[in-house]
Structures are given as structure tokens and as C-alpha cells.
């Protein structure tokens, strides 16, 4: 998924590739305003169809976050939570587990792969599409913020905003308190250090951290590690 060259600004036309992704997600409120929203164009978030979509997400998020775990056997908890996530999110893979509280905006604009673990208190402003891959591990208090606003004061009086997609590739590790800004992507196999603010995209197999987040070194892929006889994880 590519991002605009200047993701701090609104797009000027629809992005068919983003709309096509949205069509494959559950319960997206497909309409003209929604297509503008996920494409990164200026849109009014207070049109009725978008208000209703957010309202629906609040209810489903409440069901997920307020699950009474005392009534669920420990061996069934992951299964019950995944069933609730399948109602809340646009797409979610098997064996993915999120510790509540989990705070999405629309929910339907979020796609999460399989075998992913997300710790407490993740916020996702999924104004545009947010994609999280397989086998991703995410620490506490992480924020994925696809929503953006112009610096224009008049834009706020006109009640318009925009958003750009965020993508996290397979096999990433995201430390606690990381913030992702609109339009960034993180390639597969990356580690993002705790407290980082990701303002630009990070290439695959990078260790990156800081504010702003910068690549500090690169690492081997899993396939390269498998071929390394000295790798301590190879024979586990």
C-alpha cells in the first residue's frame, strides 16, 4: 500500500486502490463521503452515515472491553474475544488476541492478520485504512492515528478533516507508547523502539526508534536467520 508524497496534506482525488481494500472489509459504510474519507480527501465527519458507523463501533467496542471474564473459562477467553473482534473489525485473522481496553474509531477500517498480539490500551483512529500484518507484537499504549487536520483555522470552522492509511508489516515488534502518524508504513520484520513517534515510513528489517523515529540499523530476515548456524533461535 503506497502513501501520498505529502501525507500531511489532504488528497485531491479518490484513491481506487484504497477504496478496493475497503470493499473487502466488513461493515464499511460505503458511500461518497466514506470514499473521500478513506482516500485522504477533505470530508465532513458529521454526515449521518459516518456518525452511525462510529456509533456502531462504540457499541461493539464496549461489548469487547466490558466482557466479564469471570463468566468465561480461561481456556475459552481467546475464542470469545476473537468472536467479538470479528464483529468490531473489518478483518481479523485466527489466533489474534487484543488485551482490552481497545479503542478504535470506526473499527471496520482496521484489518489485522493472524497470530498477532496487542497489549493494553491501543488507540486506532481509523479514518483511513489501518492494516496490521501477521505475527505482529504491539506493546501497551500504542496509538495509530490515520486522521489528519490542516493548519488552516478556517478548515476547522468548516468541520473538514482528512486521513491517510497506516500499515504495519508482518513479524514486527512495536514497543510501548509508540505513536504512528497518518500515511506511514512499517515494513516487515521491523522493531520500533518504545516511545517513538513514527512520522515517516520505515523500510523492512529495520530497528528504528526516536522522535522522530529513525532507522538505527538493519537486521536479517527470518529466512536468513534460518541459514545462520550460529543463530540461537534456529533450533528452538
Q: What is the pTM of this model?
A: 0.94
Phi, psi for 171 (deg, rounded to 5): 60, 30
> How many domains are contained in the chain?
1
Give how far Cα 158 sits from Cα of 37, 38, 48, 124, 154, Å.
15, 19, 16, 24, 6
Torsion angle of the four alpha carbons 100, 136, 174, 167, in this order, in degrees rounded to the nearest 10:
-100
3-state secondary structure 77-90: HHHHHHHHHHHHCC
Going by pLDDT thresholds of 50, 70 and 90, the confidence category of residue 128 is: very high
The C-alpha cell that represents 94 in the structure block: 485466527
Going by pLDDT thresholds of 50, 70 and 90, the confidence category of residue 5 is: very low
Whether residue 9 is predicted with pLDDT greater than 90 in this model: the reply is no
Q: Which residues of 66-92 are buried (b: 16+ CB within 10 A; e: fewer)?
A: eeeeeeeeeeeeeeebbebbeebbbbb
Give the DSSP letter of residue 216: E
pLDDT in tens, 157-173: 988 899 999 999 999 99
Q: For the domain that residue 171 is a member of, what is the CATH number?
A: 2.160.10.10
Of 56, 149, 200, 214, which one is the catalytic site residue? Answer: 149
pLDDT in tens, 26-68: 999 999 999 999 999 999 999 999 999 999 999 999 999 999 9
Domain that holds residue 20: 16-226
Look over the chain and give the mean of its residue pLDDT values, rounded to a whole number: 94
Answer yes or no: is 76 within a domain: yes
Answer yes or no: is 101 within a domain: yes
Cβ within 8 Å of residue 112, ≥6 positions away: 85, 89, 91, 92, 93, 96, 118, 132, 136
Answer yes or no: is 49 within a domain: yes
Give the helix ranges, DSSP H, for the chain: 16-23, 32-39, 48-65, 77-88, 153-157, 222-226
Answer yes or no: is 235 within a domain: no
Q: What is the largest CA-CA distance in the chain?
A: 62
pLDDT for the residue 159: 85
Answer yes or no: is 97 within a domain: yes
What is the CA 149 to chain-centroid distance, rounded? 18
Going by pLDDT thresholds of 50, 70 and 90, the confidence category of residue 235 is: confident
Active site residue 55: no
Amino acid at each position: 500500500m503506497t502513501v501520498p508524497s505529502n501525507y500531511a496534506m489532504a488528497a485531491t482525488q479518490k484513491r481506487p486502490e484504497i477504496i478496493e481494500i475497503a470493499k473487502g472489509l466488513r461493515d464499511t459504510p460505503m458511500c461518497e463521503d466514506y470514499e473521500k474519507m478513506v482516500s485522504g480527501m477533505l470530508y465532513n465527519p458529521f454526515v449521518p452515515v459516518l456518525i452511525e458507523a462510529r456509533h456502531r463501533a462504540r457499541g461493539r467496542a464496549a461489548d469487547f472491553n466490558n466482557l466479564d471474564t469471570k463468566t468465561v473459562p480461561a481456556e475459552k477467553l481467546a475464542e470469545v474475544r476473537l468472536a467479538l473482534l470479528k464483529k468490531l473489525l473489518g478483518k481479523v485473522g485466527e489466533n489474534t488476541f487484543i488485551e482490552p481496553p481497545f479503542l478504535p474509531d470506526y473499527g471496520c477500517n482496521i484489518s489485522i492478520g493472524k497470530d498477532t498480539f496487542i497489549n493494553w490500551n491501543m488507540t486506532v483512529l481509523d479514518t483511513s485504512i489501518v492494516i496490521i500484518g501477521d505475527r505482529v507484537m504491539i506493546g501497551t499504549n500504542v496509538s495509530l492515528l490515520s486522521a489528519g487536520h490542516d493548519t488552516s483555522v478556517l478548515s476547522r470552522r468548516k468541520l473538514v478533516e482528512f486521513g491517510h492509511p497506516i500499515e504495519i508489516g508482518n513479524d514486527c515488534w512495536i514497543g510501548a507508547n509508540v505513536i504512528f502518524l497518518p500515511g506511514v508504513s512499517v515494513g516487515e520484520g521491523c522493531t520500533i523502539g518504545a516511545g517513538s513517534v513514527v512520522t515517516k515510513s520505515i523500510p523492512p528489517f529495520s530497528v528504528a526508534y526516536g522522535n522522530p523515529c529513525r532507522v538505527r540499523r538493519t537486521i536479517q530476515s527470518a529466512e536468513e536467520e534460518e541459514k545462520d548456524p550460529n543463530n540461537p533461535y534456529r533450533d528452538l
